Amino acid sequence: LGDQETVVTETRPVLTEEQDVAVAAIHKAISAETFSVRLLHGVTGSGKTEVYLNAVEKIVAEGGGVIFLVPEVALAPQTVGRVRARLEARGVHTVVWHSHLSEGERYDAWKALASGEAHVVVGARSAVFAPVQNLKLMIVDEEHEPSYKQEESPRYNGRDVAVYRALINKSVCVLGSATPSLESLYNVERGKYGVDKILNRVDHRQLPKIHLVDMRREALQGKGASPISRMLADKLVDRFEKKEQSILFLNRRGFSTSILCPDCGYVATCEHCSIPMTFHRTDGKLRCHLCAEVREAPHKCPECQSLNIRKKGLGTQKIEDIVQKILPRAKIVRMDADSMSKKNLYRKILNDFRIGKIDLLVGTQMIAKGLHFPNVTLVGIIHADLSLHIPDFRAGERTFQLLTQVAGRAGRGEVEGEVYVQSFTPFHPAIQYARRHDYVGFYEQEIEFRQQLNYPPVGRVALLTLRGRSEDRVKFVADHLRREMDTVAKELGEVVVAGPAPAPLLRAENFYRYQIMLRTSRMPQLSRKLSALRETFQIPEDLRLVIDIDPMSLS
């Protein structure tokens, strides 16, 4: 994804009444020339990008600089194309900034921004540090996305850095999302952020109808029921015959999620991590999606030599196979981390899909958000409850956001869209609220649970993870660290200490991991204590302590 996006010429759309109000509010905040944060809460397909572009144009016309953040590199070219279409005619240079740039491209971008030759940068989270001159506007699109948090040191959150950078530059930060994070909604509720709501899609197109398919009932009705329900299969055939496009979403790549022996209970597990290996049919290999270990798939059980060894679970490869049997004449393409290994392939496939060369797209999270395809009238979500069953207090929030975002890919053109959500737990609140597009109801229910336990956004969390190659040593040091944390909690007050406990993923890449979680409403004071502790607490050389303030994931 080099800095060579084609500029799309586009006619300037007439703003809707709600877009007009949002643009006016952002312009007013910009004119005040003081720090403020505004949350742009617009349903999928409501034209949030158009609101951003209007704000960018105002800043550029006044000689100011803009940082425009997108959650993933893959979404950068699409956004850059639209920004350039608006600004090139004015002679304004826009640069791209993300991890896929070569060192030379990154240097050119840095130089253009630092010298003032370019005023606008579009990029992934690291673009938040770009040396934009006279910075007047920060835009964080899809602000709820976990990908804004860097999981290696320094563990910053791009969204939070954007807010802080706006503060020190006395500029405006606009956070946009159809499914805002609870943190941002909580800040709106407390009056820290302003909010602009766009509750209708452009041209008053209807939000897609969401149908729930209870897979428990489906399983009872047929022996070895297909992962694609009969209802969804019939709809796929119907859309193909009408020459309309469909998207199938499953957040799990590979063909089968595990290989097991029903005779002795053997499961093919990674030797370095405590997770089962995934079978990939394209090369007949087992792969660990954590440490990338690869080995041959066994034809018989290595433990009891039984030939009865089976492949269980499903991934995107298997879904692709099943759909090809349902629609033998259709052009079906799979998009996931395995199939997107070649540079620029992502862009080519999306372009082919946009112009109608592809009938159906099967994919993981990379097709879930930010993509606009007017001819997509059907979205199927396989295993909607996958993300519900992870040990994380954000599991419900993530599931609600994912379902809403994926559903939002349907019905963005003239034809009304439909979404089929397949689930084994269809009555879970996150799924029920997503079905009704009810963000207010979901927020009220979820914030009540967070308040009871002082979880973010009500309180804040620090996660201490100890890792080493000997589980006994890690546990011993973790117990000692817990005693230190109890002392800190006593000194500060308002700190709840939990653990040490094995991490949800105990072993990763041959390292055992134990965690201690601290919940507090006094994070600045706790953060200083933890910083001092890092200097004084004696950790054996073969162990490592990671301190993560405001973690986005507890795994």
Mean pLDDT, the chain cut into blocks of 10 residues (555 residues total) = 44 84 93 94 87 92 92 75 82 84 90 92 93 95 92 92 96 95 95 93 81 84 74 93 90 67 83 80 78 84 85 79 91 77 72 88 74 83 82 88 84 82 89 90 93 92 94 94 93 90 85 93 93 88 92 84
pLDDT in the model for residue 516: 95
* Whole-angstrom distance, CA of residue 93 vs CA of residue 36: 26
- 373 has which bridge partners? none
DSSP-derived 3-state class of residue 175: strand
Q: Are 498 and 464 in contact (CB under 8 A)?
A: no
Measured at the CA of 328, the angle between CA 325 and CA 334, to 5 degrees, comes to 75
**Computed from CA positions of residues 492, 498, 499, 503, in that sequence, does the dihedral angle turn out positive or negative?**
negative
pLDDT in the model for residue 186: 95
pLDDT in the model for residue 2: 41
* Whole-angstrom distance, CA of residue 384 vs CA of residue 81: 32
Report which of 130, 138, 3, 127 is spatially closest to residue 64, judged by C-alpha positions.
138
DSSP 355: T
Q: Which residues, including other chains, have CB under 8 Å from residue 197's CB and lie 6 or more apart?
A: 18, 22, 41, 42
**404 backbone dihedrals φ, ψ, rounded to 5°:** -65, -45
Q: Which residues, including other chains, have CB under 8 Å from residue 217's CB and lie 6 or more apart?
A: none
pLDDT in the model for residue 1: 39
**111 backbone dihedrals φ, ψ, rounded to 5°:** -65, -40
Q: What stretches of 115-255 show up as alpha helix (H) in DSSP?
A: 158-168, 182-189, 215-221, 230-241
